[in-house]
Structure 1
Amino acid sequence: MIKKVIFIFVSLLLISCGKDASPKPYGELRLEYPAPKYQKFENNCAYTFEYSDFASIAPAKKPCWFYVNYPKMKAKLFVTYYPIQNDFADHIKEAEKMVYEHTIKASSIDTKSFEYPEKKVYGNFYELKGQSASNLQFYITDSTKHFVTAYLYFNTRPKPDSLAPAVNYIKNDMKHLLDTFEWKK
C-alpha cells in the first residue's frame, strides 16, 4: 500500500514538472489620462489663464492665491501672486531660492526662459529631475507691476519613475497655462 502511494506521488511529481519554470516580468501600471480640454480661469485678480478640465481651482490662504488641484493624480499646483512695489529683485531671488532649495534631492534642474512681449509676460520655467519634492516650478512677471509663481506638489513620496506620467501630463498643462497667461488691463 505504501509503495503504491509513493509510486503515485512520484508519478504526479514527474508529470507536473514538464516545463522549466521561467520568471515572469513585473507588470507595470499603465496610467492614461484624458486628452485635456481647457477652460478659462476668470477671477478678480490681475491675471487670467486657461487650465485643464481634469483639474479644479480652489482658493488658497491669501487673495489671488490658488490651488489647481488634480485629485486623481493627488497633485496640486500652488499659484501665488505678489504686486511689485520696488521689490522686483527680491521676488526673483525668492522664486529662485524656492527652486534651488531642492538641489539636495534633485539630480538636475532644467531652466527655460520664456517671453511673450506682446502680452508683457516674461519668466522662467524650471523642471527638477530626481526625487525632488516639487517637480515643476515657474514664475511669471510683467517686470513692473505683477509677479506670479507656481509650484507643483504631489501628495506622496517623490518617486520619479512612478510619477513620470502624471508629471508629464501636468507639465503640458503648465505650458498651456503659460501660453494662455494674460495680465488684465
Structure 2
Amino acid sequence: MNRKIIFLWISVVGLWMFTSCKDEVLPKPIANLRLDYPEATYSLFDDPSCPFVFEVNNDGKIKRESGCNMSIHYPKMKATVYFTFNRVQNNMDSLLRDAQTLTYKHVVKADDIIEQPFINKANKVYGMYYALNGNAATNVQFYLTDSTRYFVNCSVYFYAKPNFDSIMPAASYLRNDMQNMMESFRWKK
C-alpha cells in the first residue's frame, strides 16, 4: 500500500513541476498579414534582335541571358520569371514535349494543374497557359509559338521553399503579370 501512495505522490508532484513552470498562455490578437503590391504598370519590351514584343511589368528587372533568353526579377516578391526563346528547326514535337514535361514534373506537389489554351489567330500566337495550385516550385507557366518558326517557354519561380498559403498574394500578382505578358505577346513581321 505504501508503494502505491508514494508512486501517486511522486506522480502528482512531477505533474505539478512540469506544468507549473510554464508561462501563462494568452490568446494571440486577431491580425492578418498584409502584403500590398503596387498596381501593375507595363512597358513594351521590344529588342531589335528578338523576333517578338510583349508587355512587361515596370517592377520587373530584366536581365538578358544569351540571345533572346532572359530572366525578369521581382525583388519585392522574391521571384523570377524565366523566359526561354527557341527557333523551330524540325523540333516542334520535342519543344512541346519539353514544355509540357516541365509543367507536369510538378504534379507531385501541385494540388491541381489548370490548362488554358491560348489562340490569337490575328497575330499567329498559339500556346498553353498553366496555373499550378499547391506547393509546387512554380505557380504559372506558359508556352507560345507561331507553329512554324519560333517557340517561347516561360515560368515563374519563387526564391523561398514552396508554401502556397504564404506566397498566395505574390503568386496571384505574378499570375496576372504572366497572363498579361502572354496576351500582349506578338511576333514581329
Q: Could you tell me the TM-score, scaled by structure 2's length?
A: 0.84
Q: 1:4 is matched with which residue? A: none
Identity, in percent, stands at: 39
Which among 56, 59, 64 is matched to residue 54 of structure 1? 59
Looking at structure 2, the residues matched to 84 and 175 of structure 1 have their Cα atoms a distance apart, in angstroms, of 23
Q: Where in structure 2 are there 5+ consecutive unaligned residues? A: 1-24
Looking at structure 2, the residues matched to 143 and 54 of structure 1 have their Cα atoms a distance apart, in angstroms, of 31
Count of residue pairs brought into register by the alignment: 164
Looking at structure 2, the residues matched to 22 and 105 of structure 1 have their Cα atoms a distance apart, in angstroms, of 36
1:115 counterpart = 2:93: no
Runs of 4+ with >6 A deviation: none
User: Alpha carbon RMSD of aligned pairs, Å?
Assistant: 1.3
Task: Give, in angstroms, the shift of residue 28 of structure 1.
Answer: 2.5
* Matched ranges for 1:23-42 at <5 A: 23-42=27-46
1:101 counterpart = 2:72: no
Q: Where in structure 1 are there 5+ consecutive unaligned residues? A: 1-20
Q: 1:147 is matched with which residue? A: 151
Task: Give, in angstroms, the shift of residue 42 of structure 1.
Answer: 1.4
Q: Deviations over 1:134-185 (max 9, x none)?
A: 1110000000000000010000000101111001111111111111100111
Secondary structure of the residue aligned to 2:38 is coil
1:89 counterpart = 2:93: yes
Task: Give, in angstroms, the shift of residue 24 of structure 1.
Answer: 3.0
Q: 1:79 is matched with which residue? A: 83
